[in-house]
Amino acid sequence: MTRPIIIDTDPGQDDAVAVCLALAAPDALTVLGITTVAGNVPLALTTINALKTVELCGRTDVPIHAGAAGPLVGEAVTAEHVHGRTGLDGYDLPTPAIAAASSDAVGFLRETLEAHPPGAVTLCCLGPLTNLALLLKRHPDAAARLHSVVLMGGAYFEVGNITPAAEFNIYADPEAAAKVFASGLELTVMPLDVTHQLLLTEARKSALAAIGNRVSDVIDGWVNFFERFDLDKYGADGAPLHDPSVIAYLLQPELFSGRHINVEIECESPLTRGMSVMDWWRVTDRKPNAQVMGSVDADGFYALLCERLGHFGGGR
């Protein structure tokens, strides 16, 4: 039996790779739909990029629903300096022939959750948590029907990648993140502490390129563009591939290990706004509210990614 999931995302090259990985695993995951949010680039572009990605994968049956164009409070923060002007710089995909199914992501989430048994659907959050926070605010009974939420966001030992203290997805809407972490939903978190272990070394990039199909060709272009920023910033052996960790966790949870701890989101301080304060060492009496991953088998992750992307076939 496959696991029904909804992907909430702001593509971004690594988000798009995560979508490709999910669509390459129909024996394990049923993608009920994709909701988009402003994040890496503005909402209009994240929606176009989601449409391009499902077209690339030959899965135009998966509906795309546009969501929040900005955070709950303040102005939108974007990351073109990382992802390029389009968010998918590195491979020029054609203008999508399909259109978004709606501009009401929250309505789609509510309707889909109400149409499935309680505890059936997992929400995969790859960007700012605005859409989920709005669902919690407007339709709390529907949100309570979620099986769980698996999200990429936050950091502790790796601190910040957009400010000295904050990871981008949380910083882009800390009020939304605070609402999600206070919600009581079952949360599994892939922070930078895990994703910075998933480096696209030359050997791993070569393995991806060697798959030799249309999807792997496009991903090769995406990651070659995407990595230039992180290589310069961190001086590591490769750029981290963040968001596919969420999908990999659903496919092979044994690749990951972590702790059930308390996570609070800082929303007030001008110095640490958006910081995810993780009680990793359990030094407070705050109640645990999230399963936070701390380590990953990186070789196993890339073996899974290459094996699954090979399911798209060898044609270009």
Q: Where in the sequence numbering do the catalytic residues fall?
A: 242
User: Exposure string (b/e) for 48-58, b if CB count within 10 Å is 16 or more?
Assistant: bbbbbbbbbbe
DSSP of 26-49: TTTEEEEEEEE-SSSS-HHHHHHH
Q: Are 294 and 279 contacting, i.e. CB atoms less than 8 angstroms apart?
A: no
Q: Are 237 and 204 contacting, i.e. CB atoms less than 8 angstroms apart?
A: no
Helix (H) or strand (E) holding 124: strand 122-125
- For residue 141, list its beta bridge partners: none
Nearest to 201 by CA among 231, 159, 222: 231
Rg (CA), the chain: 18
Q: Are 116 and 238 contacting, i.e. CB atoms less than 8 angstroms apart?
A: no
Q: Which residues contact 193 (CB under 8 A, 6 or more apart)?
A: 155, 156, 157, 158, 293, 294
